[in-house]
Structure 1
Amino acid sequence: MTAILVTPPAIEPLTLAEVKAHLRLTTSDDDTLLAALITTARLQVEQATRRVLIEQAWRICLDDWPKGGVFALPITPVVQVTAITVYNASGVPTTLPTIAYEVDSAGTPPRVAIKAGAGIRQRRRLNGIEIDLVAGYGPSGLAVPHPLRQAILVLVARWYENRDGAAYGIVPAALADTFESLIAPYRSVRLA
């Protein structure tokens, strides 16, 4: 299974103004640096929680249908599955009608089930199935749970204040504990 980011988020969960207020900055001298730190911190939170924060489009590629026709999606939270495309041996795509599958976007992990009797077979051996979906908490940072936004602020503040991080040693335990406690309820655990 391969996950491909098709459309990245249009915005970040926190605005530059929110971060500058948190850091008590009034000048625009470091705006470029802060913008980069916000993006990097979002990516760190997404990686640590295995969740995407702001709505973005993804494509999941599969080689074959799993036994039982139910498969877990590696991206969460899922807003909607926009298309499932199956390729035959010649590479000709067929988009499945929405009545051919069910989506459990509330589950953790979210799942897609091919309905019994749909009679859908794919023959292309590699990446013969593509699932297009939209995932994220919403189109704006206000939809992102507050603890995850706070975790971003913790990282940005740490990185801004300690730009040569390695020279100052490891991340202080209190900071690591704060970050971990903020993201803990949102972690998706991989069982296999």
Structure 2
Amino acid sequence: MIVQRLDRTPWLLEDLQDLRDHARVDPNGYDDVALRRMFVAAVLEAEEHGQLALFPQTVRVTLDAWPRGHTFRLPIGPLLDWDSVSTTADGQPFEDFNTMTGQWPVLRLTGARPCGQVVIEYASGCEYQSHKIPTDLAHALMDQALAYYDARGPGDPKAQALSPHFARIVGRYRGVRI
């Protein structure tokens, strides 16, 4: 299985005040561009660690063949629009499936299993505005950005790990593989 994230453009914080307060940073004492960059790095880390899409993006999944069962859990959630799911089998459109939406959407076959290579594309992500992201995830992002802020510059590479709070909170959103 190959999973690709297409048109991936992370949103930037427009108002850094919450992040400045969380990091206890003087608004005049630190470069806002670098602080934004640390937040974007935290967003990208959360997406990879939690198999999430925190901002709208297209996900393409390529399978050598349809899995053994009649269902396939999409690897990155949430699904923005169930109508956005398109599937091809051996280059031909394939529509014999239902989409079960939610945090971890699933495709369920309604007909025969498709033959050959299967390519699935869908729109995934939360809204662009940070207030649309669940509060615990928003806090985890700020906590990880703070961890990057504290570990800036040369130092111990082991100190530049994931924040324990970040790993725990993002881990809750991670899908269960079956």
TM class by shorter chain equals: 0.7 to 0.9
CA distance in 2, matches of 1:151, 1:48: 12
CA distance in 2, matches of 1:168, 1:113: 44
Q: How do 1:27-66 residues align onto structure 2 when only pairs under 5 Å count?
A: 27=28, 30-66=31-67
Give 1:80 deviation, angstroms: 3.0
Give 1:158 deviation, angstroms: 2.2
CA distance in 2, matches of 1:101, 1:190: 20
Report the 3-state secondary structure (helix = DSSP H, G, I; strand = E; otherwise coil) of the residue aligned with 1:138.
Answer: coil
Is the 8 Å Cα contact of residues 38 and 152 (structure 1) preserved in structure 2? yes
CA distance in 2, matches of 1:94, 1:188: 29
Partner of 2:115: 122
Runs (5+) with no aligned partner, structure 2? none
CA distance in 2, matches of 1:135, 1:115: 23
Runs (5+) with no aligned partner, structure 1? 88-92
CA distance in 2, matches of 1:131, 1:169: 38
CA distance in 2, matches of 1:65, 1:26: 53
CA change 1:180–1:62 in 2 (3 A) is: closer
CA distance in 2, matches of 1:21, 1:27: 13
- Residues 24-46 of structure 1 show CA distances to partners (whole Å, capped at 9, x for unaligned) of 43238512322221111112222
CA distance in 2, matches of 1:135, 1:48: 16
CA distance in 1, matches of 2:45, 2:10: 18
Letter in 1 for 2:109: I
Partner of 1:103: 99
Letter in 2 for 1:2: I
Query: Between Structure 1 and Structure 2, whose CA radius of gyration is higher?
Result: 1
Tell me if 1:85 matches 2:80: no
Give 1:145 deviation, angstroms: 0.7
Partner of 2:141: 152
Q: TM-score, normalised by structure 1?
A: 0.75
Report the 3-state secondary structure (helix = DSSP H, G, I; strand = E; otherwise coil) of the residue aligned with 1:170.
Answer: helix
Q: CA RMSD in A?
A: 2.8
Is the 8 Å Cα contact of residues 54 and 144 (structure 1) preserved in structure 2? no
Partner of 1:90: none
Tell me if 1:178 matches 2:176: no
Give 1:56 deviation, angstroms: 1.1
Give 1:120 deviation, angstroms: 6.4
- The aligned length equals 174
Is the 8 Å Cα contact of residues 54 and 141 (structure 1) preserved in structure 2? no
CA change 1:136–1:32 in 2 (3 A) is: same
Give 1:189 deviation, angstroms: 3.9
Is the 8 Å Cα contact of residues 34 and 160 (structure 1) preserved in structure 2? yes
Identity %: 21
- Residues 33-91 of structure 1 show CA distances to partners (whole Å, capped at 9, x for unaligned) of 2222111111222222222211211101111122233212111112235211222xxxx
CA distance in 2, matches of 1:157, 1:10: 18
CA change 1:59–1:28 in 2 (3 A) is: farther
CA distance in 2, matches of 1:3, 1:121: 19
